[in-house]
């Protein structure tokens, strides 16, 4: 089945130009219009209802770009966004970038070419100019870009709560920050790290730090990284894992029969508040993920309608204490 891209390549113009011809917008020459319609006929291209409606904001179609869907945080977030869109009379155009900046750029340009009413982005691009040079309404989630409204949780407070849980409630003296390597200070998650670091320093117990690449989170060699971290920092007596998935994998390593005698039992606290923390009974700093998704949709629709919206919306986090931390945690 032919696509917009096929038509554009056939004529030798951009997808945006083809979209404008289809929707009767922009200053397009008669010659170009004729070529586009001829190519559509030759390729037997028939724009579906969605494509026909994308040319104006009344289409009620919202684009969403997330880096991963197999991470629980983004799965919950996407479900919340889709539900909020549906309740507001919008449909969701969902895309995943795989954490690849080039792919994210292509997806955003594709959404704009199809004239979505607005875009929600969990961006991993370090060059923010792409999102600063468009007229398409945008709201970012867990990412800060100048002059672009964003929704996030209180990451800094979350880091502080994690430090207090390990140092004050669990009696740790040598905490370890174990997390994904931060690619940009514009990711609010960087405040999660800073909150933990600052709180540890204020309590006279500066933390050690060990970082992995984001793609290693689900890698089979993560256990080796845990061993390396604990051997590099043998005094570690508490771990702040910057996501629940990471915390669960660390706990799995620590509970391994061959390693239990080596490392003993160490308090661990995660971040996110997703289901895996419940199943594994891991203490965590819970984000209001569903509320974040719903609020992002609300703000984007307000932007689409030309309303003034807040530049930064930060939602509170909360500590959920389970078996892996707290005053009743028993170290071996």
Percentage above 90 pLDDT, the chain: 54
CATH code, domain carrying 38: 1.10.260.40
Q: Do 274 and 221 meet the contact criterion of CB atoms below 8 Å apart?
A: no
Does residue 73 belong to any structural domain of this protein? no
**HSE on the CB side for 231, CA within 13 Å?**
8
Q: Helix or strand or coil: residue 322? A: coil
* Full domain range(s) for residue 29: 1-47
Does residue 200 belong to any structural domain of this protein? yes
Any bridge partners for residue 138, and if so which?
Answer: 119
Token digits for 64? 């969403």
Nearest-10 Cα torsion for 109, 111, 114, 117: -120
Look at residue 264 in the predicted model and tell me its pLDDT.
55
- The lowest-confidence range among 8-22, 70-84, 167-181, 186-200 is 8-22
Look at residue 60 in the predicted model and tell me its pLDDT.
86
**Across the chain, what does the average pLDDT equal?**
86
Token digits for 136? 């398409």
In a shared domain, residues 41 and 162? no
Does residue 107 belong to any structural domain of this protein? no
Does residue 128 belong to any structural domain of this protein? no
* Domains identified in the chain, total number: 2
- DSSP letter string, 168-182: IIS--SSEEEEEEPP
- The lowest-confidence range among 124-138, 160-174, 204-218 is 124-138
**70 phi/psi in degrees, rounded to 5:** -85, -5
CB atoms near residue 83 (< 10 Å)? 15
State yes or no: pLDDT of 51 exceeds 50: no
State yes or no: pLDDT of 53 exceeds 80: no
- Residues 40-60 have a mean pLDDT of 62
Task: Please report which confidence band the pLDDT of residue 82 belongs to, taking 50, 70 and 90 as the band edges.
Answer: very high
Q: Do 66 and 93 meet the contact criterion of CB atoms below 8 Å apart?
A: no
- Residues 159-170 have a mean pLDDT of 96
Does residue 57 belong to any structural domain of this protein? no
Does residue 79 belong to any structural domain of this protein? no
Does residue 88 belong to any structural domain of this protein? no
Look at residue 49 in the predicted model and tell me its pLDDT.
41
In a shared domain, residues 42 and 160? no
CATH code, domain carrying 226: 3.40.50.2300
Q: Do 242 and 271 meet the contact criterion of CB atoms below 8 Å apart?
A: yes
- Residues 167-185 have a mean pLDDT of 89
Report pTM. Answer: 0.78
CA distance 299 to 85: 11
Query: Which of 249, 266, 287 is the C-terminal boundary of a domain?
Result: 287
Look at residue 36 in the predicted model and tell me its pLDDT.
87
Does residue 189 belong to any structural domain of this protein? yes
């Amino acid at each position: 089945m032919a696509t917009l891209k096929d038509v554009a390549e056939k004529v030798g113009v951009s997808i945006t130009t083809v979209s404008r011809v289809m929707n009767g917008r922009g200053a397009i020459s008669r010659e170009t219009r004729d070529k586009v319609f001829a190519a559509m006929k030759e390729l037997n291209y028939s724009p579906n209802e969605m494509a026909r409606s994308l040319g104006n904001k009344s289409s009620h179609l919202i684009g969403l770009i997330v880096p991963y869907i197999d991470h629980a945080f983004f799965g919950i977030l996407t479900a919340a966004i889709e539900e909020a869109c549906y309740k507001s009379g919008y449909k969701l155009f969902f895309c995943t970038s795989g954490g690849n900046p080039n792919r994210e750029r292509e997806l955003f340009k594709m959404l704009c070419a199809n004239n979505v009413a607005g875009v929600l982005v969990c961006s991993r691009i370090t060059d923010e100019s792409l999102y600063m040079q468009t007229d398409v309404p945008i709201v970012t989630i867990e990412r800060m870009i100048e002059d672009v409204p964003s929704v996030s949780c209180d990451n800094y407070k979350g880091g502080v709560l994690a430090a207090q849980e390990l140092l004050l409630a669990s009696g740790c003296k040598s905490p370890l920050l174990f997390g994904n390597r931060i690619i940009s200070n514009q990711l609010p998650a960087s405040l999660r790290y800073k909150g933990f670091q600052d709180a540890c320093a204020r309590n006279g117990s500066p933390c050690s730090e060990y970082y992995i690449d984001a793609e290693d989170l689900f890698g089979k060699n993560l256990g080796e990284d845990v061993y390396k971290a604990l051997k590099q920092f043998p005094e570690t007596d508490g771990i702040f894992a910057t996501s629940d998935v990471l915390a669960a994998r660390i706990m799995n390593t620590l509970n391994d029969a061959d390693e239990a005698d080596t490392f003993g039992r160490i308090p661990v606290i995660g971040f996110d508040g997703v289901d895996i923390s419940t199943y594994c009974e891991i203490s965590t700093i819970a984000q209001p993920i569903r509320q974040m998704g719903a609020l992002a949709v609300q703000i984007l629709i307000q932007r689409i309608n030309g309303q003034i919206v807040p530049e930064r919306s930060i939602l509170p986090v909360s500590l959920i204490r389970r078996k892996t931390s707290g005053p009743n945690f028993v170290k071996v």
